[in-house]
Structure 1
Amino acid sequence: MSLEWKTSVGEPVISVENLGIEFLRGRKRKLSLREMVYTRKTTHNKDTFWPLEDISFEVGRGEGVGLVGGNGEGKSTLLKLIAGTLLPDRGRAVVREGVAPLIELTGGFVGDLSARENVYLTAALHGMSEEQIEERFEEIVKFAGPQVKAGLDAPFRHFSSGMQVRLGFAVITCLDEPIILVDEVLAVGDKKFREKCYDRMEGLLEEGRTLFLVSHNERDLKRFCTRGIYLRQGLVAADGQMNDVIAQYNEDILSS
């Protein structure tokens, strides 16, 4: 299988070039007062590793791309590099259109603010005007469900984790951004809400949005993605048709 996929879907909206990031394996030891005062250079050895190294690919407008790999292979890290919430130590990730990040759905929500206030705050932080938020407010609340609607003016921290995630999903998927980054958040809530999430994602793809999906769920990957990228030991092990990439990944698991 070729490691370089040539897309005919549209012009590249994501270009990843020789991307790499270095992490510390553990916390560095604390320096003594003497070392801090008399030593300009730290005397400890940094034990580091590269979860991603020399990653390169392009994603065309309108593509559905699924990212696969074992735990700890850098999938979520790659998504955060593309989203811009992490900075690379090598190479670059160029994103040419706006992004709706379904990564940490409640990361920007403030616990002491009401759910209503959090909808306005989060949507505004993603570039929506107050008028746009007001136009879509009822749609957001309806999608999040009756429990969320009943508690709109309660502090967000009083919501259950499920209610928090439902509201986060509803807010982020109402954005008009053409690129959607998804990290294992489709299987949220009960069965009924999951189907609402699936329907919403399919609707967004039908509008021509670009999807980059991290998931261990083969059914979701095959449902939403035509192309797969397989990460192994910090490198791109395969890049091609989604079914073929999943087959190679499963074969590697069985042979390991």
Structure 2
Amino acid sequence: MAETRTSPDAPVSDERVPTVVVDDVHITYTVHGARAGRSSAASALSRLASRRRPPGARTVHAVKGVSFAAYRGEAIGLIGSNGSGKSTLLKAVAGLLPPARGRVHTQGQPALLGVNAALMGDLTGERNVVLGGLAMGMTREQIRARYEEIVDFSGINEKGDFITLPMRTYSSGMAARLRFSIAAAKSHDVLLIDEALSTGDAKFQRRSKDRIEELRAEAGTVFLVSHSNKSITETCDRALWLEAGALRMDGPAKDVVAAYEAFTKRP
């Protein structure tokens, strides 16, 4: 059985302190198909009763033998085609997906911030700030002290008192800005950001990039998944290029992005 993660108790004394080590990680999952003419629920009940493998089920090898080390103070971009394994790899680093083979070692507890991260749609933005802060490991006292800063950073109240409205009334951009603002209110050993910066306007993106620089200066490591190559080169000093689940290139962000763009332009 694969070992998924370890958290060293003592800090490493070397100047380049590793925060994440991914060692020959493979991630697989099963995609299920439903029988024609029957509901998915009915098909699932039938499979449970008969203990048979569902028709059309297939195993997806989403990440294939990826290895790298990340260090304190780095901002690392993940690029690649749709379905290349970027988001899957982030979930493995966050401890949400156990590797089928290989190991993920982390220093501290990574925090994953995704555009689709669940906040409670029927609760107000105010209440979600509290719940999100608690989920990020903040105390209620810390949340109260940083509440105004979180709301101001998100910018969702610039055109009205939206923080008092239910989250379901927010646009996708407003909700994504609030998620990032909650996560960025606390320093993290490792912060994993999945497409959250691509939804805001230029002003919010500038604030976000400045905050990422602050997090790096506080000895954190930031991973950023984005389909915007410009965001990667402006925000990150290093990039990992995944293609079909394999690590194709690891190096300075500008070099990796240039190689990826040349690859995508090939006939």
Task: With the length of structure 1 as denominator, give the TM-score of the two structures.
Answer: 0.85
**Residues 27/130 of structure 1: CA separation in 2 closer, same or farther (3 Å cut):** same
Residue among 217, 221, 244 paired with 1:210: 221
Residue among 164, 172, 178 paired with 1:153: 164
2:122 maps to 1:122: no
- Work out whether residues 66 and 228 of structure 1, in 8 Å CA contact, stay in contact via their aligned partners in 2: yes
Mapped to 1, the partners of 2:222 and 2:127 lie a distance apart of 29
Q: Give deviations 1:38-91, integer Å, cap 9, x for gaps.
A: x54447463222021111111111112111111111111111111122232222
Q: Give deviations 1:111-156, integer Å, cap 9, x for gaps.
A: 1212111111110111111111111111111112224871333222
Identity of aligned residues (%): 36
Unaligned runs of 5+ in 1: 1-7
**Residues 36/215 of structure 1: CA separation in 2 closer, same or farther (3 Å cut):** closer
Q: Give deviations 1:164-191, integer Å, cap 9, x for gaps.
A: 2221111111012121211222122222
Q: Give deviations 1:18-55, integer Å, cap 9, x for gaps.
A: 2112233442543795x765x54447463222021111
For 1:74, the equivalent position in structure 2 comes to 85
- Work out whether residues 241 and 250 of structure 2, in 8 Å CA contact, stay in contact via their aligned partners in 1: yes
2:96 maps to 1:85: yes
Spell out the pairing of 1:175-254 with structure 2 (5 A cutoff).
175-254=186-265
Mapped to 1, the partners of 2:135 and 2:44 lie a distance apart of 39
Residue among 153, 157, 179 paired with 1:143: 153
Mapped to 2, the partners of 1:211 and 1:36 lie a distance apart of 42
- Work out whether residues 27 and 101 of structure 2, in 8 Å CA contact, stay in contact via their aligned partners in 1: yes
For 1:17, the equivalent position in structure 2 comes to 23
For 2:175, the equivalent position in structure 1 comes to 164
Q: Which moved more, 1:93-102 or 1:133-142?
A: 93-102
SS in 2 for 1:187: helix
Q: Report how many residues are paired.
A: 246
Aligned-residue Cα RMSD (Å) equals 2.5
- Amino acid of the structure 2 residue aligned with 1:132: Q
Q: Which runs of 4+ in 1 moved over 4 A?
A: none
